[in-house]
Amino acid sequence: MQIVVLLRSVHRGPRSSETLPGLGPCDRAAVLTALALAPAEQIVALTAGPQGDEACLTAAQALGIGRAVRLWDAFIDSQDQHALAAVIAAGVQRLGPDLVLTGHRSADWATGGTGPGVAHILNLPLVTAAVGVRAVERGEASLLEVDQLRGDELISLELDLPALLTVVAAPPRAATPQSAAIEVWDMQDLTLKMMRRSGKPETSVEPAEGRRARQLDGVPILITQLRNAGLLR
Amino acid sequence: MANILVHIELSDRVATPRSLAVLNVARAIASELGATVHALLPCENPPSYERDDTIATLSRHGADKVALVTGPSLVEPPLHATHGEAIAAACNQIKPRLVLFAGSPASDELAARLATQLGANYFPNARVEDGPAARPGRAEAGEPEPGTGGFQLVSEAFRRQYLARSPLRSAGRIVVATIIELAAPRTVAADDAEVVVIHAPSASTPHVRVRGRRPAPSAELACARIVVGGGNGLAPEAAAQLPRAATALGGAYAHSRSLATREQGEPDRQLGLDGLGTEAELYLALGISGSDRHLAGLAPRTAIVAINSDAKAPIFDRAAFAPCADAAQALGELLGELDGER
What is the mean predicted confidence (pLDDT) over B160-166?
A: 91
Residue B167: pLDDT above 90? no
Contact of A214 with B320, CB cutoff 8 Å: yes
Across the range A166-192, mean pLDDT stands at 91
- Residues of A in Cβ contact (< 8 Å) with B303: 229, 231
Beta bridge partners of B179: B102, B126
Strands (E) in B168-315, as ranges, are 175-179, 194-197, 208-215, 226-230, 252-255, 282-286, 303-307
List, for residues A40-86, the tens digit of each pLDDT value: 999 999 999 999 899 999 999 999 999 999 999 887 777 788 889 99
Report the amino acid identity of residue A62. Answer: A
Higher-confidence position of B141 and B32: B32
3-state secondary structure of B342: coil
CB-CB neighbors (< 8 A) of A168 in chain B: 222, 277, 279
Break chain B into its structural domains and give their ranges: 3-197, 217-341
Give the whole-angstrom CA distance, residue A84 versus residue A73.
Answer: 10
Interface contact flag, B215 A153, Cβ < 8 Å: yes
Q: Give yes or no on whether B3-197 and B217-341 have one common fold.
A: yes
Question: Amino acid letter at B169?
Answer: R
CB B234 within 8 A of CB B105: no
Interchain contact A25–B (C-beta under 8 A): yes
| Whole-number Å distance between alpha carbons of A208 and B39 | 33
Number of CB pairs < 8 Å for A and B?
Answer: 277
Whether the per-residue pLDDT at A196 is higher than 70: the answer is: no
| Amino acid letter, A14 | P
Domain spanning B3-197: CATH superfamily: HUPs (3.40.50.620)
SS (H, E, C) B141-162: CCCCCCCCCCEEEEEEECCCCE
The residue ranking higher by pLDDT, B341 or A25, is: A25
Domain B217-341: top CATH class: alpha beta
So what's the ipTM on this one?
0.93
CB contact under 8 A, A226 and B119: no
The H-or-E segment that residue A7 falls in is strand A3-7
A172 CA: distance to closest CA in chain B (Å): 7
Whole-model pTM: value is 0.93
pLDDT of residue B338: 81
At B200, the pLDDT band (50, 70, 90 cuts) reads: confident
Residue in B124, B164, B216 nearest the CB of A153: B216
Confidence band (pLDDT; 50, 70, 90) for A2?
Answer: very high
CA-nearest of A100, A78, A73 to A89 is A100
d(CA A127, CA A119): 10
Q: Does A154 touch chain B (CB under 8 A)?
A: yes
> A14: which DSSP letter?
T
Identify the residue among A11, A32, A219 best suited for mutation to test binding to B, counting B beta carbons within 10 A and taking the highest: A219
| Residue A156 contacts B where some CB pair is shorter than 8 Å | yes
Most B CBs within 10 Å, among A16, A99, A155, to test the B interface: A155
Which of B112, B157, B292 is closest, CB to CB, to A109? Answer: B157
- When the pLDDT of each residue in chain A is averaged and rounded to a whole number, the result is 91
Query: How much is the pLDDT for B50?
Result: 67
Higher pLDDT: B50 or A132? It is A132
- Taking the Cβ of residue A8 and every Cβ of chain B, the question of whether any pair is shorter than 8 Å is answered with no
Closest-CA distance, A3 to chain B, in angstroms, reads 18
- The rounded distance, in Å, linking the Cα atoms of A146 and A133 is 5
pLDDT digits (tens, 9 = 90+) for B291-313: 999 999 999 999 999 999 888 89
The interface residues of chain A toward chain B in range 57-76, judged by CB-CB distance below 8 A, are 59
